[in-house]
Amino acid sequence: MPESDTFPKLLLEREKAYGKKKIAIREKDFGIWNRVTWEVYLNHVKNFALGLQTLGFEPEDKVSIIGDNEPEWIYAELAVQALGGIAVGIYQDSTPEEIQFAADFSDSRYIIAEDQEQIDKVLEIKVRLPHIRKVIYWDPKGMRYYQDALIMSFQDVEKRGADYARTHPGEFEERVQRGKGDDVALFLTTSGTTGRPKLVMLTYRNMIKMAENLFVKVDPLNDGMNFVSFLPLAWAGEQMMAVVAALTIGFTVNFPEEPETVRADIREIAPQMMFSPPRIWESILSDIQVRIADTTAFKRAVFNLSLKIGKRLADMKFSKQRPNLRWKLLGTAADFLAFRALRDRIGLSNIRYAYTGGAALGPDVFRFYHAIGINLKQIYGQTEISGISVVHRDGDIKFSTVGKPIPETEIKISSEGEILSKSPSVFVGYYRDPEATAEALRDGWLFSGDAGEIDKDGHLIMFDRVKDIMKLSDGSRFSPQYIENKLKFSPYVKEAVAIGNGRDYVTVFINIEMANVGKWAELHRIPYTTYVDLSQKPEVYELIREDVVRVNRELPEAARIRKFVVLHKELDADDAELTRTKKVRRGFVEERYRILIEALYSDQKFCAIEAQVKYRDGREAKIKTNLKLEFMEEPEKETVR
């Protein structure tokens, strides 16, 4: 296990051990995987760091970084940290106003941005950021004629650093050694479901301890493994994998060519571990379901039979039963006939550890992946505890839980039912927010804001956010997240928002999965033009109704959905309806669609609605339509599609 206590020190240690012998990073460009050795990795970080120093960078300076997953993000982050600075992660789809908030509130002196798109956002708000010294871009495409003195290329900074290094040998290494494990390494934002996101201050010790406890002690990784980095590096989970775990273990981080090529690039790399939020696993499952529906009747029958066998074996594994010889042979046959090719098609043929976190994953989805032979594990944690505090163990997986605490982590439930955590990975506080810090950190415990319980086997069960647990007018309690996850098992449902707090019954907003519903409509010769048009087709309502019927059969009577509406537009982060990590901002959504909610709790069959939509380029438009409000009278039998 490495002894270094900061990320830059870990980099020096890795370079000394591997140098030119091992690949640290691969990046796909124009269809070719370009390799970066640990020696080259270190040289980029060193030159960029010294280049920043020539620009007046000082210890404890903050630097905002925004862009897609590319090596330059990591080079910049480690360079800033090597000089005693703090990196501030910003999501690449942030609006100019969101960038302004993050850069201003964090007191950033520099902004490092990927390309022309991000630079244009920064230039739009630069008059409101007078403290910014330099804006540095790493992708030169489209930047040739930008003459603003504030702007500088990544390559020019590296060149300045290389020139400085020749006359100041050893200075970079000396600066790196000044760093301490208890120094703040990163500011990462909270999800911001209830308002402005907060800046979480994480130290090197916080992050390294988490990586060691999970990836050395629980699920040991090795330096021969591959990881594909495609989730935002401003997210704690991706930081943990692509930066901290990679430096701690020494495995190879692979960067896809474009966000649109991620699936294909994952298949080429066939990584041994994958860490994704539920929306990714739900999306992959949705794609599988649609492909199976489109295949021949014979292949569909083989797959469905194999899936029944796989689910039975998965249930045996969950209940810790040993399958007899008959079931072992059936499992081998199912794997040969269906699952082996399927795992290869989705790029998970070599997968050893697959993780899901950030929100609860529906039990149906979880069971499906185990049925097809993927060792999917639920994790639990928050940005405030460096991402992960609880995980399933091999051989001890319950899809209704999120697992057991990792080493050096304590979990308990407060008298109000809130999950509390204590660990060396707990953050040191929120930047410039002592009141929120005092609320979250009490007597050494992190108050998560999540409701849960610990079962008889020591597994943590996470229900929902404490503030999101709802109570009907008769006092019946229900978890909206549980209902939503059940609905999202359908390939035709992209997002769902359950409503009912203080009401007589539960209602739901539903977003259709445009690609899958569109394909279904084409197969059934149902013409449509736009998302609005497709979403309001009577046939689509009937399609979604089948899923609501399915979910209602699995819910307690009080929590069953009585009415639903298919929304005319997708909930979107640019409209502030979702956070940048794609979590629903319930309060905002309920306020924005208040008229529609009131209509759902009336005798109305339709509701005229007008919504303001804001596009990323700043343009705004109004959508007007008449939404159908569907009342549920559950049929005796579920319709066969």
The residues spanned by each domain of the chain are 7-271, 273-380, 469-631
Q: List the single range of 209-223, 355-369, 495-509, 625-639 with lowest mean pLDDT.
A: 625-639
Mean residue pLDDT of the chain comes to 92
Average pLDDT over residues 351-378: 89
Whole-number Å distance between alpha carbons of 213 and 216: 6
Q: List the single range of 16-25, 37-46, 131-140, 624-633 with lowest mean pLDDT.
A: 624-633
3-state helix, strand, coil in the chain (%, to 5): 40, 25, 35
Asked if pLDDT for residue 202 goes beyond 60, the answer is yes
Asked if pLDDT for residue 3 goes beyond 70, the answer is yes
Q: What percent of the chain has pLDDT over 90?
A: 81
Asked if pLDDT for residue 637 goes beyond 50, the answer is no
Half-sphere exposure of 582 (CA within 13 A, CB side): 15
Helix/strand number for the chain, H first, E second: 23, 30
Instruction: List, in sequence order, every residue forming a beta bridge with 454; answer none if it has no partner.
Output: 460
Asked if pLDDT for residue 614 goes beyond 80, the answer is no
Asked if pLDDT for residue 153 goes beyond 90, the answer is yes
Whole-number Å distance between alpha carbons of 212 and 536: 51
Average pLDDT over residues 45-74: 97
Q: Comparing 7-271 with 469-631, is the CATH topology the same?
A: no
More confident residue, 9 or 554: 9
Domain 469-631 fold is GMP Synthetase; Chain A, domain 3 (3.30.300)
CA distances from 51 to 134, 139, 151, 164, 381 (A): 12, 17, 14, 7, 37
Half-sphere exposure of 225 (CA within 13 A, CB side): 24
Question: Coil, strand or helix: which one is 45?
Answer: helix
Q: What is the pLDDT of residue 194?
A: 54
Q: What is the 3-state secondary structure (H, E, C) of 370-421?
A: HHCCCCEEEEECCHHHCCCCEECECCECCCCCCCEECCCCEEEECCCCEEEE
Q: What is the pLDDT of residue 636?
A: 43
Average pLDDT over residues 494-502: 94
pTM reported for the whole predicted model: 0.86
Phi, psi (degrees; rounded to nearest 5) at 493: -115, 115
More confident residue, 556 or 439: 439
Average pLDDT over residues 40-48: 98
Q: What is the pLDDT of residues 533-547, one digit of tens each?
A: 999 999 999 999 999
Strands 32-37 and 23-29 come out as: antiparallel
Confidence of residue 611 (pLDDT cuts 50, 70, 90): low
Asked if pLDDT for residue 619 goes beyond 90, the answer is no
User: Where is 447: in which H helix or E strand?
Assistant: strand 445-454
Asked if pLDDT for residue 617 goes beyond 90, the answer is no
Q: What is the pLDDT of residue 35?
A: 98
CA distances from 100 to 89, 94, 121, 125, 574 (A): 13, 10, 9, 7, 15
Cβ proximity of 391 and 403 under 8 Å: yes
For the record, the structure tokens of 80 come out as: 């800033």
Q: What is the pLDDT of residue 638?
A: 44
Q: What is the pLDDT of residues 110-126, one digit of tens each?
A: 999 999 999 999 999 99
Confidence of residue 481 (pLDDT cuts 50, 70, 90): confident
Of the candidates 169, 132, 134, the one whose C-alpha atom is nearest the C-alpha of residue 52 is 134
Q: What is the 3-state secondary structure (H, E, C) of 531-578?
A: HHHHHCCHHHHHHHHHHHHHHHHCCCHHHCEEEEEECCCCCCHHHCCE
Confidence of residue 635 (pLDDT cuts 50, 70, 90): very low
CATH number, span 7-271? 3.40.50.12780
According to DSSP, residue 104 is labeled H
